[in-house]
Chain A
């Protein structure tokens, strides 16, 4: 039942009195409205903007947030209002939905933000009114396509281990993946160009030989041209066979347009090899050579513009069809008219209607060769009408095709631009995230040093280091700390490699060791220990200071620099599985040194280091300290 109509229910019920006198049976008892309360105004405070409405208005849609008891969760006792921490602008249209029964989509809103608001308030987007539904759907589809594009990009980047065949296929499809692919790409491009140029030059007259006849170059330097041709065909054949081998679905590959073009480019050569010097079929052989021109289409793999053009023509098939159809109609009409108009004139070239087709086509496309001209007056009149109409008929579908091409081209440009932007964006995000990673380690350090200083009793340093971290931060850090305590592994440096080297990782885990010296004197020792040792130390460790750092096995992002307790030793080289946000990715040169550190896993390095607050300048091995803090580096044994 619609909303406003609910207000008319009292009327409908009252009008039912009209049935009473005619009723045969007694009426049922009316329902009682027990908790009948007067309609009251309720205040909805959305991020400071107060909206007020009747309670009944909201009750119209009981399966949404505002219409059900779910809004009680947002009730603020002191101010006696419902507080929502959401966008007040978007809330306007949502509240209007309750008032009028129609949900409108404001065009200036971002589609995903609006969707989120709808989801929050429990309103399904299908109730959007007809006036706005189309726009909403269009924008949603666009957004989805964009997201899908991005996802495909991500898939590319993931790079799982590919077998040989898949690597080749990827190299062919996307030449930028490896240097070899790029080289091959350019080589094939070069040879396509060479092949096309040879085909063209072959037919150019090349100066006379002794028998004083201008021969085309092809016949003069037969051997040279044959060699070039052979070389090109060799390359093309090899390429085609490799593609065929690497294709994930050979059948589908063989049916694709590009592969057909490839085949047609190399087939004439082989047929020619088979059929040489046979007079009967040499005519056919010559025809086959024409197909060599298809090699130029191989360029479409190299040029995106060509591909777009092809795609446009395909998508404008209906417009092209219309153009063709209307042209054919006009040609036939005018050819007939011209034929009969010129029939009277003698020595007229318009011998038949098909013969007049040529005249009509040449005139309508405004070419006007002049090899056929009308001589009678009637012919001239109709000829002029023909040329005028030709301009119109051709001009009509062309803008549609052009606009289609432009749209697809710009879409492509935008896709490329988005890809480039994304890379830069992700890089910047990584930097910021690793900055916050440092905060965690820094707070641990602060905690450590606080305890340190308590022991040593230096006041000034303490004050310097007690930073006022927010409650949120400190709680987060505490949480990470707890996680560290739960597992046995100290926080690790992230300057190691990007991808987990499984073997290395296992090795590192085995060699992790942790030792607490109850006497609280710095001690350094190392031993190859199994995980069991590590865990057995856990009990002891609990009694120690809480800031024992352990390398974490979990993909806790953003850790920078090894951090160790004075009293504890740990080996620092666990590789965390996901380093996508690690700043170290940006500094590839640290990889090797990191690797070296890890290889030295047999050896304990106890290092105390204090990473600087600015997370942007790592050293070669990621260890550095800021001024005013102690760096004690104990070299490996």
Chain B
């Protein structure tokens, strides 16, 4: 007990009587929780919450405003969440009048766009900390499940932890309802989870790139496991592309729906195809077909706006994405090092091996000198004539 008091860690097996204010789907068999029922914004966060004695016991006011009345509600999570209960010890949202003595990691270039072959997501890998490169090989594209990938921008700790929370919630949804939550649903979920922290220093700007599955019945047969996800080399991507083209025929999709494979009890349409959403910690949630986020995004936008069309092949799309990130890293001080490219299709996500942009720079330099030489050669030939 002494140990647990020190850590404010309560034994999750202790049963609790106060279950009426449980959040969405926290208890098994909670019948009216078929979606996101938001009683109040705090009900989203009824996971283990550390009692903030360090803020209340001290006579010195650190200026905190307890927007979440978490000090009184310490609910005991489900036994399913045993291993994750401490994960969601949610940060107490106090107003930041205690100035932080250290800077947070920020600054990036990430982009994502839709095309006929699915969704392509690309990002640089530099993680900077107000002038110092904290990590030259960070991972800014985080897979959430087999058909959903999120690019992250903002504070790296916030992005990593919130992606974990989102992945867990999506998995729970899948287990409870027997189907994957759509990308739009995931975006809404993330947006609502971040809402209580609006106004605080939390900084998350993510684009969710996913492929929504087909009808409910078919979804049960699809393999939900993450074994689909694997790193591939460039040659494997090409063979994947060929197999993709067959499955992406729009006519096929339309005929599937028309066939009446939709369950008769469900009248709603089920969409199958690529989806792209942008979610931001200030509350923005947008659907679109092209997004670029971060300090290097203006440079990336210029390349993307010029080149992205629906009918690109996978290889063309990859080269445009790489070019966009390369140009952004060239001009933006806070982006650089490598580029990660992920491709999401109906089969799931695949990742290309990380490419060093230094090589790209030298390749382009060589190409330029070669072109200059060719032009100079032509000029001399013309001059002779």
Q: Do A and B bind each other?
A: no
